């Protein structure tokens, strides 16, 4: 009989076309409802890739954006929010219907984060200058209406946002350090100032500690969320950028851009206990909800390294995108959500 065609390689996504919500619209297998999927911002290709988190296969590259730099998914998996640095907006993408709504927030938004409960999205509006000349606001978007309901001044050039588990505090890195926002009052109630600025931010599951990367200082801060003081500065040289905390709160993972590695930090001893070599210029690092994998976006390699957190080894590398081109498009952000 006739041999079956070979399976599609993981690095090919055929016939991307325009957005279409129909299964397999761009030639890839559609994930089943409820199945975890990853989203990868392909900034210079102006697309977001959807990846089956179990198989690490790209299932779609249908979502078109303008220089996507930040991603966040609502808890129900129905809406993807995209910070479009090429525009002045955040795009709200209905993942079931394909409808896209643009929400004007201001110049060069770099990050978005969904608040616990999913009722609000915070957008960091960095401005045209990531240093002293940047914007100084975070915009709060109501996910029910997709309208901006509040503007919070946090400090020059806000970069990244993370929430306390109870949603009462938002932590925002900016050019002057870390700002602590009371989400009910909509104002800054604390700061960790550092002239070198800060980039990545993550909160432990118990809400008691905040991890902040300081690329210029070559370290990662461990901040006591109660006192607001830096409890430790953990050496993570060579451009620490993205940071993620394991669901059990025992470890943190820090992308070291200039070293091409991810540092594994033991939070009890406050020491780096391992290094995992990934691709060139790793920046975003995001853990799957169960903590079994850390996905790392390699900006210069144009790939995503998948780290098995139990073994500390790279077990998969996701390369793919539009047509037969590799993702040499700067995977600037990674997010996860259930398939609607």
What would the mean pLDDT of 1-5 be, rounded to a whole number? 34
| Per-residue DSSP letter, 327 | S
Q: What are phi and psi of 79, to 5 degrees?
A: -130, 130
Q: Cα(265)–Cα(215) distance, rounded to whole angstroms?
A: 16
Residue 323 pLDDT level (bands cut at 50, 70, 90): very low
| Per-residue DSSP letter, 249 | S
pLDDT at 10: 33
CB distance 182 to 153 below 8 Å: no
pLDDT tens track for 4-41: 332 322 332 222 222 333 333 344 455 677 899 999 99
Q: Is the pLDDT of residue 1 over 80?
A: no
Q: Measured between alpha carbons, how far is residue 318 from residues 54, 56, 160 in Å? A: 12, 7, 24
Lowest mean pLDDT among 6-10, 149-153, 246-250: 6-10
Residue 320 pLDDT level (bands cut at 50, 70, 90): low
pLDDT at 319: 84
What tokens were used for 68?
């996507």
Q: Cα(133)–Cα(288) distance, rounded to whole angstroms?
A: 35
Nearest to 41 by CA among 5, 74, 70: 70
What would the mean pLDDT of 270-283 be, rounded to a whole number? 97
pTM (2 d.p.): 0.90
Q: Is the pLDDT of residue 144 over 90?
A: yes
What would the mean pLDDT of 216-237 be, rounded to a whole number? 98
Q: Is the pLDDT of residue 332 over 50?
A: yes
Quick one: CA torsion of 69, 242, 212, 65, rounded to 10 degrees? 10
Which residue would you say has higher pLDDT here, 226 or 330?
226
pLDDT at 5: 30
What tokens were used for 175?
């050019």
What tokens were used for 58?
């790209």
In 14-126, the DSSP E strands lie at 36-42, 47-52, 58-64, 68-73, 79-84, 89-94, 100-104, 109-114, 120-125
What tokens were used for 202?
């993550």
CATH of 65-195, one of 3.40.50.2300, 2.60.40.420, 2.130.10.10, 3.10.20.440: 2.130.10.10
Residue 221 pLDDT level (bands cut at 50, 70, 90): very high
Nearest to 30 by CA among 67, 55, 11, 65: 55
Residue 209 pLDDT level (bands cut at 50, 70, 90): very high
pLDDT at 44: 73
Which residue would you say has higher pLDDT here, 80 or 14?
80
Q: Is the pLDDT of residue 111 over 70?
A: yes
Residue 129 pLDDT level (bands cut at 50, 70, 90): confident
Most confident of 22-31, 285-294, 324-333: 285-294
pLDDT at 22: 32
Percent of the chain with pLDDT over 90: 78
Which residue would you say has higher pLDDT here, 196 or 245?
245
Q: Cα(296)–Cα(20) distance, rounded to whole angstroms?
A: 28
pLDDT at 121: 99
Lowest mean pLDDT among 129-133, 197-201, 250-254: 129-133
Domain ranges of the chain: 65-195
* H helix intervals, the chain: none
């Amino acid at each position: 009989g006739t041999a079956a065609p070979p399976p599609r390689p993981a690095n090919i996504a055929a016939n991307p076309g325009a957005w279409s919500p129909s299964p397999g619209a761009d030639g890839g297998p559609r994930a089943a409802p409820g199945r975890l999927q990853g989203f990868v911002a392909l900034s210079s290709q102006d697309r977001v890739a959807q990846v089956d988190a179990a198989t690490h296969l790209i299932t779609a590259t249908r979502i078109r954006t303008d220089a996507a730099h930040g991603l966040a998914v609502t808890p129900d998996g129905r809406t993807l929010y995209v910070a479009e640095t090429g525009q002045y907006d955040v795009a709200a993408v209905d993942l079931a219907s394909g409808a896209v709504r643009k929400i004007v927030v201001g110049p060069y938004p770099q990050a978005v984060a969904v608040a616990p409960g999913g009722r609000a999205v915070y957008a960091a509006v960095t401005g045209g200058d990531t240093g002293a000349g940047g914007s100084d606001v975070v915009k709060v978007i109501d996910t029910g209406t997709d309208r901006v309901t509040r503007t919070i001044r946090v400090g020059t050039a806000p970069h990244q946002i993370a929430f306390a588990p109870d949603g009462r505090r938002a932590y925002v890195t900016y050019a002057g350090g870390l700002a602590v926002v009371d989400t009910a009052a909509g104002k800054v109630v604390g700061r960790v100032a550092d002239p070198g600025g800060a980039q990545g931010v993550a909160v432990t599951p118990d809400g008691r500690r905040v991890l902040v990367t300081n690329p210029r200082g070559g370290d990662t801060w461990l901040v006591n969320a109660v006192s607001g003081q830096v409890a430790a500065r953990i050496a993570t040289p060579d451009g620490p950028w993205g940071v993620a905390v394991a669901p059990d709160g025992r470890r943190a993972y820090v992308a070291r851009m200039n070293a091409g590695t991810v540092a594994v930090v033991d939070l009890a001893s406050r020491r780096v206990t391992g290094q995992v070599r990934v691709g060139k210029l790793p920046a975003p690092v995001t853990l799957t909800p169960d903590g079994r994998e850390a996905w790392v976006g390699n900006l210069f390699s144009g790939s995503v390294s998948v780290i098995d957190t139990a073994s500390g080894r790279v077990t998969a590398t996701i390369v793919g995108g539009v047509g037969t081109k590799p993702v040499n498009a700067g995977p600037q952000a990674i997010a996860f959500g259930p398939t609607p």
